[in-house]
């Protein structure tokens, strides 16, 4: 499953956005995916999963949108999770929370992180730095 830098949400609720890719997902599976994505803020919202997100998710912050998209990706139980600058809109505390949550998932799936900075780099078993399209350094 691929999580891109710019999160894509559709007008509707958090539940509908999670169910978009996984229509048969149960509410408990959605809540578990949200927990895995460090999106506990959803539980604190007055309408919870039924909170409207607005067109493109405009009623949520950038970090909240990214965590909902990450939860949607995790909901499918992928074997491979590709994160392409997926925490770029998060503050350092939120990014650290996601890194901690993802570290617990390392036994269940392979995580490929594409990024320039941040707490997700600490998840790496192997790191490859690129410069001008070429491998500049490897840590394996």
Separation in Å, CA 77 to CA 30, 46, 134: 11, 28, 32
DSSP per position, 68-92: HHHHHHHHT--SEEEEESTTTTS-H
Are 79 and 110 in contact by the 8 Å Cβ rule? The answer is yes
pLDDT tens digits, one per residue of 75-109: 989 999 999 888 877 788 878 888 888 888 888 89
CB-CB contact of 29 with 21 (8 Å): no
Whether residue 132 is predicted with pLDDT greater than 70 in this model: the reply is yes
* Banded pLDDT at 69 (limits 50, 70, 90): very high
Q: Write out pLDDT tens, residues 6-39.
A: 889 999 999 999 999 899 999 999 999 999 998 9
Q: What is the pTM of this model?
A: 0.87
Residue in the structure block whose two tokens are 């036994």: 107
């Amino acid at each position: 499953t691929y999580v891109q830098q710019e999160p894509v949400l559709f007008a509707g609720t958090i539940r509908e956005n999670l169910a978009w890719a996984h229509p048969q997902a149960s509410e408990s599976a959605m809540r578990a995916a949200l927990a895995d994505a460090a999106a506990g803020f959803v539980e604190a919202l007055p309408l919870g999963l039924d909170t409207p997100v607005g067109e493109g998710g405009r009623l949520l912050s950038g970090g909240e949108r990214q965590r909902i998209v990450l939860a949607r990706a995790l909901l499918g139980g992928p074997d491979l999770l590709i994160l392409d600058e997926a925490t770029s809109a998060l503050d350092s505390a939120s990014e650290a929370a996601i890194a901690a949550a993802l570290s617990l998932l390392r036994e269940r799936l392979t995580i490929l992180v594409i990024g320039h900075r941040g707490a997700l780099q600490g998840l790496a078993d192997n790191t490859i730095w690129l410069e001008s399209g070429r491998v500049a350094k490897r840590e394996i």
